[in-house]
Chain A
């Protein structure tokens, strides 16, 4: 190529490099929407002698680029040489847009036996693309069989207009965040659909849901559902429990389906939008009202209009089904919204095919799956509840406390951690009083009351400890006295042992990536309300082995709790559906192919991704 072309391309590449992240000039920038590499940098062909009679052709393929398996060819003089076997890790690529094809990443090689009669240079043909970027025209290179020099036989016209247009500065999503995303994220529904059709997709999501049902995301739903059933008082039969839990679960599944529809149409992740102070506040109030009705407060002196309004929800067959459904709906969207992974899968499918119906149906199936254990619980549970009398009142009141706890847990996403701790203190002391911690027991008090009092005193003690902790500025209900016992100020979560840098804006993200200084980066998208994230923080990121591995990464935390426009922009440009998502990024800002972790993370999946990045040994 004329040196002018090389220069203009180099300048363009440099500009992107500087704009995106301050990488060394030699860095290969492979950005979606950015300037693709010149063809000989994307696919470096070199030739070496192999024995007496052969030439070994070796292609080094830049990260994020691939060569088509069926487009290799070699001719010498006028004769086509049989294309020798290609040595490389051929992967089949099947995308609705592309049709099936086999491609090579990283490198591929072939040994060409030289005929005795033929002479002249080998003419080598190949063709490839940049992942999610461009496809190159067929490439021809000459290999001199004596010197093994690789040359370009084509005389390209000089790029006289190259200076007229530049790469966008922040136009490409890759450049806005400084990260180039890999193009292979997901396709879950697509591959399921190929394997077994619609039934396979729905069945798989149903199963996926059942598995999710045993994660902490769904745990809060058991007491909520139990509370909804207990509100029925004496009249609960297995059939009634089944109906109520079915209503709850159907509403939950509908909410999940709705998530898919809304996300497909608006690009907004509804569950994130609903983590707004208003929605959380409203749901907290809802739970407080439910709690009050469980305590029997409505039979006391509330205005009759209130009692009627709320009573309508809670009484009568249809009313109670509706209120169970309302709880199911809010549970799905606000209480335990751990559907990032399946939602991401469904959205990729919807984006690729425009088939909103199947995407939403998959999420509905997921919700049903999540609900199957709940239905079983709701149907069998009532048998375990005592039938009549004062007992029933106690059970109802106990669930009142469950609802209050839910309300505090929800509202703690909005208020300072110390204030939440204070609320928990009040709650524990209230529970203690209700359990009879401060009632005097006669010598002939039954064991049941003695047990309750013991539990109450324990609760009171915990409440006092929490209150002291809150007053000292602690924020972890499990370690309320950390500020008094040790000098570890601030968040006591073990995850803090890993030094995550916070990034809230695209600019901060770029700075954060640049600060990696040649180290690969790990972007961890998380949020306060994300239960799965909390699990990852406590059980994965606190593991010493994990910590020592991740310490080799430049760690960046994207806390999207506030759901600001900046955060939404980052998520959009990284194609992140929601937290938790972990993205492994090379020093040049290129996401490592096939390493993204969406949803629950285990040590095994984390190791696999770290290994696949090839970024750290």
Chain B
């Protein structure tokens, strides 16, 4: 079923199948929960860092997005060094047709407990239009059980599809223009370097403290 899923999402993202206007996209939005609560605490969204951390970063990313790949190591480093950041991943596949493959596979890897492994493997592949096969090679090299992955992609197709649609609707609801997009506490921002993430995290904590 992955092919069908892919096509459906491609229509939704307005990627290659642009002949169909994006009426579906807003229709989807109506069904997806775009509340602040679900943006921050969607139980289905992969979470990394400290799940009980005092600051939440929500990262809307695409595996064909160059600046996502560029800022990924800096974000990972800041989350690791800080130790108290809760990082929520939102796969938002909008850049190229194969983005949806990457998002689907990464989310499927969650069922074998390896979302983050898959995420970093896919972020580590340079380039803007990474072919599906190259993504699969990267995942396999990173130690993802590919048979299990394919099985989960079939069995959990509806769940994965729902997460992606929800993420898309949420990104639209926030009004993001493109990827990467980060919510850092009360702030929204895009590509940052290591120092930029650190400053933003510090400011976000300060703002949160003032708010209380």
Contact = CB atoms under 8 A, between A and B. Distances in A.
A97 B180 contact: no
B36 A164 contact: yes
B25 interface: yes
B178 A162 contact: no
A133 B14 contact: no
Contacts of A397: none
A130 interface: yes
A37 B69 CA distance: 21
A164 B200 CA distance: 16
Q: How large is the interface on A (under 10, 10 to 19, 20 to 34, 35 or more residues)?
A: 35 or more
A237 B188 CA distance: 68
B200 A168 contact: yes
B127 interface: yes
A261 to B, nearest CB: 18
B161 to A, nearest CB: 18
B179 interface: yes
Interface string B56-67: 000000100111
Nearest to A33: B192
A138 B66 contact: no
Among A39, A97, A127, A173, residue most surrounded by chain B Cβ atoms (within 10 Å): A97
Interface residues of B, number: 56
Contact of A135 (B26, B29, B65): B65
A9 B66 CA distance: 23
Contacts of A176: 199
Given A39-B177, A138-B15, A167-B187, A156 B26 contact: yes
A301 interface: no
Contact of A159 (B65, B174, B184): B174
Interface in A145-172: 153-162, 164-172
B164 to A, nearest CB: 14
Interface in B9-64: 13-15, 18-19, 21-23, 25-26, 29, 34-36, 39, 62
A134 B180 contact: yes
A134 B67 contact: yes
A186 to B, nearest CB: 14
A411 B184 CA distance: 47
Interface in A64-97: 68, 75, 78, 95-97
Nearest to A100: B127
A129 B204 CA distance: 26
A114 B23 CA distance: 28
Given A137-B13, A157-B169, A165 B186 contact: yes
The majority secondary structure among interface residues of chain B is: mixed
Given A36-B190, A153-B21, A171-B204, A9 B175 contact: yes
Contacts of A241: none
Interface string B85-119: 00000000011100000000000000000000000
B34 to A, nearest CB: 6
Contacts of A191: none
A35 B187 CA distance: 10
Given A167-B189, A172-B192, A135 B173 contact: no
A165 B126 contact: no
Given A32-B192, A170-B203, A125 B18 contact: yes
A369 B199 CA distance: 39
B157 interface: no
29 contacts: A32-B190, A32-B192, A36-B177, A101-B128, A123-B18, A129-B66, A130-B178, A132-B191, A133-B191, A134-B67, A134-B179, A135-B95, A135-B128, A135-B178, A137-B14, A137-B94, A138-B94, A138-B95, A154-B22, A157-B26, A157-B29, A161-B35, A161-B39, A161-B175, A168-B184, A171-B184, A172-B196, A176-B199, A573-B195
